[in-house]
Amino acid sequence: MPDVGLTSRSEPLDPDYKVVIKYSVEVNGLPIYTETYDAAKLGKEVEADEATVRDLWFRRITCVVGCRNRRGFSACVTRCLLDGKACGESEPDLSAGN
């Protein structure tokens, strides 16, 4: 945390600080997919439609788990994050809520 003292470490963050959430998928330590999210923007999206945000965030877990044992893991994850479907037209929908 920037500029934190012993007595100020529990104070709210300065409103000018940018808070970022990072989502990363790695294989043997090699990053194959990375996204970053602005926490303020996510907060607005949660206020507007919490259910959709929950579904899309959970998709980030189910896609990686669902693509784990498929050919073309990286491509499968990227495709699945887009629309919730695994690579291949005959493949099942891997996303929650679809």
Q: Where are the domains of the chain?
A: 20-83
On the CB side of 31, how many CA atoms lie within 13 Å of its CA?
6
Q: What global pTM score does this model have?
A: 0.75
For residue 98, the model assigns a pLDDT of: 47
Extended beta strands in 1-98, E state:
20-27, 30-38
The tokens of 56 are what? 């899309």
Q: Walk along the chain (98 residues) in steps of 10 and give the mean pLDDT of each run.
A: 69 88 96 96 98 96 92 92 77 56
The tokens of 27 are what? 């294989």
Helix (H, G, I), strand (E, B) or coil at 67: helix
For residue 47, the model assigns a pLDDT of: 98
Q: What is the number of residues in the chain?
A: 98
Instruction: Estimate to the nearest angstrom the gap between the alpha carbon of 22 and the chain centroid.
Output: 7
